[in-house]
């Protein structure tokens, strides 16, 4: 598991680096395209680069939250401890209840 964890971290960082590179490349291309498009039109068109930024930020944040969500344990350590203590107390109380029934003063009367 330790190897897999390290591998996933390396792959995640590599994917972020590749994504960052492509985002930069897209920004450069979009700037050039918008310059050409606006040069030949009477009205200016808004650049779609902001939507690209939002898409990338949404994807990165979604990936991060999903990873954290998948990585977190389903129960906390204190929850597991409390459950164990409750189970232990219930078993102990059942023992005492059993002895109470055996030793009851009116038993057999």
Which parts of this chain interact with another protein (CB under 8 A)?
82, 85-86, 89, 92-93, 95-97, 99-101, 103-107
Q: How far is the CB of 76 from another protein (least distance, A)?
A: 15
Residue 57 or 89 having the CB closest to another protein: 89
Residue 6 or 79 having the CB closest to another protein: 79
Q: How far is the CB of 72 from another protein (least distance, A)?
A: 24
Dihedral, 53, 54, 60, 61 alpha carbons, nearest 10? 140
DSSP H helical segments within 1-109, as ranges? 2-39, 49-71, 77-102
Q: How far is the CB of 95 from another protein (least distance, A)?
A: 8
Cα–Cα distance measured from residue 38 to residue 43, given in angstroms and rounded to the nearest whole number: 7
Residue 1 or 96 having the CB closest to another protein: 96
Q: How far is the CB of 75 from another protein (least distance, A)?
A: 16
31 in Cβ contact with 9 (< 8 Å): no
19 in Cβ contact with 56 (< 8 Å): yes
Residues counted in the chain: 109
Residue 20 or 79 having the CB closest to another protein: 79
């Amino acid at each position: 598991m330790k190897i897999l964890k390290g591998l996933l971290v390396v792959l995640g960082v590599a994917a972020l680096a590749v994504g960052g590179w492509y985002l930069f490349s897209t920004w450069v291309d979009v700037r050039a395209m918008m310059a050409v498009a606006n040069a030949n039109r009477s009205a200016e068109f808004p650049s779609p680069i902001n939507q690209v930024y939002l898409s990338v930020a949404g994807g990165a944040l979604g990936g991060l939250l999903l990873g954290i969500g998948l990585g977190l344990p389903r129960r906390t350590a204190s929850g597991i401890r409390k459950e164990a203590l409750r189970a232990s107390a219930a078993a102990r109380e059942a023992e005492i209840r059993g002895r109470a029934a055996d030793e009851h003063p009116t038993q057999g009367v």
